[in-house]
Amino acid sequence: MHLKVLYHANCFDGCSSAAVFSRFFAERQDRRLTATTLQPVQHQQGDPFPPGAFDADVNACVDFRFSPSPRLHWWFDHHVTAFQPVTDRAIFERDTSGQKFWDPAAPSCTSFIARTLEARFGWSAPDLDELLRWADIIDAARFPSAAVAVRLEEPALRIMSLLEATHDPTLPIRVIDALRSRPLAEIAAEPWVAEPLRPILDRHFRSIETVRKLAGVKDGVVEIDLSESGVEAANKFIAYDLFPDALYTVVVSRDSKRSKVSVGSNPWSRVPRAHDIARICEKFGGGGHPVVGAVSLGPEHILDARRLAREIAEMLRDGGTSGGTP
Amino acid sitting at position 123: W
CB contact set of 100 (below 8 Å; sequence gap of 6+): 66, 72, 74, 75, 76, 92
Mean pLDDT across the stretch 97-101? Answer: 98
Mean pLDDT of 229-241: 92
Distance CA 243, CA 221 (A): 10
Burial class (CB in 10 A: 0-12, 13-18, 19+), 203: middle
Is residue 189 helix, strand or coil? coil
Long-range pairs, 176-183, Cβ under 8 A, ≥24: 176/7, 176/15, 176/18, 176/19, 176/22, 176/38, 177/19, 179/15, 179/16, 179/19, 179/131, 180/19, 180/20, 180/22, 180/23, 181/23, 181/127, 183/130
The packing angle between helices 12-29 and 171-179, to 10°, is: 60
pLDDT tens by residue, 197-229:
999 999 999 999 999 999 999 999 999 999 999
> Where does the pLDDT of residue 109 fall: very low under 50, low under 70, confident under 90, or very high at 90 and above?
very high
Task: Give CA–CA dist 305/192, Å, rounded.
Answer: 35
Q: Which has the minimum average pLDDT: 44-53, 107-116, 160-169?
A: 44-53
126 forms beta bridges with: none
What mean pLDDT do residues 140-159 have? 96
- Contact by Cβ (8 Å): 49, 19: no
Region for 231 from its dihedrals, namely left if φ exceeds 0, alpha if ψ lies in -120 to 50, beta otherwise: beta
d(CA 251, CA 215): 9
- pLDDT-based confidence at 321, cuts 50/70/90? very low
The conformational region for residue 119 under phi > 0 = left, psi -120 to 50 = alpha, else beta, is alpha
pLDDT of residue 9: 95
Please state the separation of Cα 299 from the chain's center in Å: 20
Please state the pTM of the whole predicted model: 0.86
Chosen CATH of 213-318 out of 3.10.310.40, 3.60.40.10, 1.10.287.130, 2.40.10.120 = 3.10.310.40
Q: Give the SS3 label for residue 267.
A: coil
Domain ranges across the chain: 2-140, 213-318
Q: At 18, is the pLDDT very low, low, confident or very high (cuts 50, 70, 90)?
A: very high
Per-residue pLDDT band for 175 (boundaries 50, 70, 90) equals very high
The whole-number pLDDT of residue 136 equals 98
What's the pLDDT score for residue 326? 62
Q: Are strands 100-102 and 74-77 parallel, antiparallel or unpaired?
A: parallel
pLDDT at residue 89 tops 90: yes
Length in residues, the chain? 326
pLDDT given at position 320:
45
pLDDT at residue 43, rounded to an integer: 84
For 215-261, the three-class secondary structure string (H helix, E strand, C coil) is: CEEECCEEEEECCCCCCCCCCCCHHHHHCCCCCEEEEEEECCCCEEE
